[in-house]
Amino acid sequence: MTFEQLHAQLQSKDALIGVIGMGYVGLPLALTFVEAGTRVLGFDLDPSKPERLTRGETYLKHIPSRRITDATATGRLAATSDMSRLKDVDIILICVPTPLTKTLEPDLGFVTATATEIARYLRPGQLVVLESTTYPGTTEEEVRPLLETSGLQSGQEFWLAYSPEREDPGNAQFATAQIPKVVGADDDQARTLVAALYGIFSDQVVEVSSSRVAEATKLTENIFRSVNIALANELKTVYGAMDIDVWEVIDAAKTKPFGFMPFYPGPGLGGHCIPIDPFYLTWKARQYGQTTRFIELAGEINTHMPNRVVDALEQQLQQQQAQTLSGANILIMGLAYKKNVDDVRESPALRLMALLEQRNASVSYHDPLAAEIPSTREYPELTGRRSVAWNPEQFAIYDAVVIVTDHDGVDYAALTRTAKLIIDTRNVCARTLDADMSRVHKA
């Protein structure tokens, strides 16, 4: 297929789009393309995902099954675990994880394995787009050489581009189609094609000059958040020592109509982006002899927050109940990394549970959206633990409750009336009508 033919197919929505990775990024992206009138073939090595999609079932809490059944009913959505079918699609979107190693270095294993697999089936006339968040240079230096092992040349027989995912699971205000799409490529034809691709559903496609610029754009967005959250976390500690409520300070400061943007403290960062992405840049910067002290300091502050929560919990137990953490019975309220989603990746709740158990505390958790702790590389000992039932009257058996995730729909007022001690890392109790704040400590 020629450039002109593929471009025409994109403009007429006749192209078949393949999405590799039917998770938190790939599934909403696939559904958005289908809803815009384009055919999509989803790929995932976990066979249960294509099977459930074929049955019209969801496996992500923030995506209703009705949206999937509507998509499959159009006949434009299909899913498979058969990677050989990559030869059938016109576009290949890579939406796979990019985690860190234990030494905080980029782990591109999923990306390189996927690119190697694509190369087995790559045919002339296809467009390949990397969406996974990564350091500048990945598309050009890592993905392109692997794809070219197929014998085809990028920019001549196939095209390669980068467009960072900007998903915010659980955010009802900004769905995939409402978020401007940044696209970058290293040749004009690839840039034209990737812009046409995302123009199928996006009213605002932002073209940048190269894949490196697009990669750097995504890192900059998440580093901005990481640094500002670290500042809020540090201010919480400083103002707390002065007996000043940092949440009240931030709420007052945000009334200024210019020059201030509110960020709030918490028990630590979670999710697959903000705790990880800054370290992708710090690692790459060292190859250029550059230091990233500001970014690394923010990472250290945010990473240390669960330890500060444990310290605050221990202090309050000693002051109010003359008790140590050893032998204490603790309930973690909320396992997900953010409110109103079931995603526990990099959740500070997992770190808190591990830290507390290292101090010989007995730890349970309740989360209405995360019934069971999945297998994780960092905390295999927590795998399979299940959420305790919601029963505020029974919560008095715990020496303390630590609120980590402030899901909507939880009766925090009832919790404040029965729990012996509450460590509130989200300030949710203070925002709850009829809450009894006498046993609530903000941390």
DSSP 420: S
- Active-site residue flag, 273: yes
Helix (H) or strand (E) holding 39: strand 39-43
Taken as a whole, the chain contains a residue count of 443
Rounded to whole angstroms, how far apart are CA atoms 389 and 368?
9
Evaluate whether 261 touches 232 at the Cβ level (below 8 Å).
no
Span between the terminal Cα atoms of the chain, in Å: 59
What is the dihedral sign for C-alpha 344, 348, 352, 354? positive
Buried-exposed string 340-376: b where 16+ CB fall within 10 A, e elsewhere: bbbbbbbbbbbbbbebbbebebebbbbbbbbeebeee
Which of left, alpha, beta for 151 (phi over 0: left; psi -120 to 50: alpha)?
left
Which of left, alpha, beta for 422 (phi over 0: left; psi -120 to 50: alpha)?
beta
Among residues 95, 205, 227, 273, the one annotated as catalytic is 273
Evaluate whether 98 touches 110 at the Cβ level (below 8 Å).
yes
CA-derived radius of gyration, the chain: 24
Evaluate whether 1 touches 8 at the Cβ level (below 8 Å).
no
What is the dihedral sign for C-alpha 145, 147, 153, 154? negative
Catalytic residues: 273
